[in-house]
Amino acid sequence: MISKLILANLPTKIEKLERLSKEWDVNLYVKRDDQTGSEFSGNKIRKLEYVLKEALERGCDTVITCGGIQSNHCRATVAAATKLGMNAVALLRINEEPKVEGNYFLDKLFGADIRFCTPQEYREIRSEIMKKIAQEYSLKGHKAYIIPEGASFGIGTLGYYSCLTEIAAQEKEMGISFDTVIVAVGSGGTYAGLYLANKFFRLNKRVIGMAVCDNQNYFRDVIVDISREALPYIGEKIDVLREEIEINDKYVGIGYALSRPEELAFITEIARKEALILDPVYTGKAMYGLYNEIKASNISRSSNILFIHTGGLFGLFPKQEQFEF
Ligand SMILES: *Cc1c(COP(=O)(O)O)cnc(C)c1O
């Protein structure tokens, strides 16, 4: 496999959630990928370690990427590019004039070149817009590298491919085997990496992706594509099978980055029981889904469950007024 930059604090720790384990009658552990860094916090930095290595090797001095206004991916990319002395451009999707808060505030703090587009432009022509920005930079003598949404493309997939090998090493150290791994799914690259490593190393884990938007059909297609794109980078032959990709789309709720009161109440409950901070866009929905699936006996009691905390802390603050205490 190809090499990477060292940006994240790795390995991240795995800890048991004692009170929730007792209450839910499972052994629930959490992989603290919310602690990969402060400026870099969350899952995207694992992908960026590979992606930005490729960008530098290609002689690029500018990175262009895209996401929602509160994108954790854009914030991590802007921070990492800045750290590496590169220019960072973030194309952000907005409905209205955004408040300067959360991840968007940090994008500005790091001095990113911020561009806006409408949801429709984002859906239909974001690649074209990013290519235009790359041309604009090229005219000024720069060389830009475009990272697609969430860094969910071939090389970005290596981040969670190697994360699962990190987890396997920790299992040996801890003398435990996780039978089920739970992760939030937003653009699919995190799941794709876990899926490929699980299969290649025959770890036989049940990897469940909790969708925070779209549905199972959509994500199976996306994850098959990303996984196949990743194979040349991994350098192994792995059969990618659509039906092996387990996506649970029952907990999307009212849509991407929109919260229902019960989801926010659940985040509050987890904070009060375990001092674990979940975010409203990804990990809050994913763990709310896990809780409900355990209750419905769709995940067996007494199993060893590993919840990957993929970060998102800065996305919590723009929602603080929606919480009722
Ligand atoms: C991006 C993100 C995810 C989802 O990862 P994908 O690879 O996009 O599916 C999950 N949690 C957080 C906090 C994220 O920022």
Find the largest Cα–Cα distance for the chain.
61
Residue 71 designated active-site: yes
Q: 3-class SS at 209?
A: strand
Residues 87, 54: Cα–Cα separation, whole Å: 15
102 lines ligand 1 (CB under 6 A): no
Residues 71, 265: Cα–Cα separation, whole Å: 23
The pLDDT of residue 105: 98
The domain that holds 95 is classified in CATH as: 3.40.50.1100
Cα–ligand 1 centroid distance for 282 (angstroms): 7
**309 domain residue, yes or no:** yes
307 membership: H or E segment, kind and range:
strand 304-308
How many structural domains are present in the chain? 2
**1 domain residue, yes or no:** no
Structure tokens at 232: 């040349």
Are 107 and 29 part of one and the same domain? Answer: no
Atom of ligand 1 nearest to the CA of 282: 11
Residues 307, 286: Cα–Cα separation, whole Å: 9
Query: Of residues 71, 187, 227, 259, which has the active-site annotation?
Result: 71
In terms of residue numbers, what domain contains 50? 44-151
Of the candidates 170, 212, 189, the one whose C-alpha atom is nearest the C-alpha of residue 68 is 212
Angle CA 41–251–266, to nearest 5: 65
Are 23 and 105 part of one and the same domain? Answer: no
**2 domain residue, yes or no:** no
The pLDDT of residue 297: 96
Last residue of a domain, one of 118, 151, 184: 151
310 lines ligand 1 (CB under 6 A): yes
Are 31 and 146 part of one and the same domain? Answer: no
Contact 190, 158 (CB under 8 A): no
Q: What is the block-wise mean pLDDT of the chain (325 residues), using blocks of 10 residues?
A: 94 98 97 98 98 98 98 98 98 98 98 98 98 98 98 98 98 98 98 98 98 98 98 97 98 98 98 98 98 96 94 98 96
Last residue of a domain, one of 106, 133, 151: 151
**6 domain residue, yes or no:** no
Cα–ligand 1 centroid distance for 280 (angstroms): 12
The pLDDT of residue 66: 99
Residues 40, 314: Cα–Cα separation, whole Å: 11
Residues 248, 219: Cα–Cα separation, whole Å: 10
Are 34 and 168 part of one and the same domain? Answer: yes
Find the length of the chain: 325
> Long-range CB contacts (< 8 A, 24+ apart) of 258-261?
259/284, 259/319, 259/322, 261/324
Contact 110, 82 (CB under 8 A): yes
Protein residue whose Cα sits closest to atom 15 of ligand 1: 72
Structure tokens at 302: 């007494």
**7 domain residue, yes or no:** no
Of the candidates 110, 43, 49, the one whose C-alpha atom is nearest the C-alpha of residue 75 is 110
Last residue of a domain, one of 103, 131, 151: 151
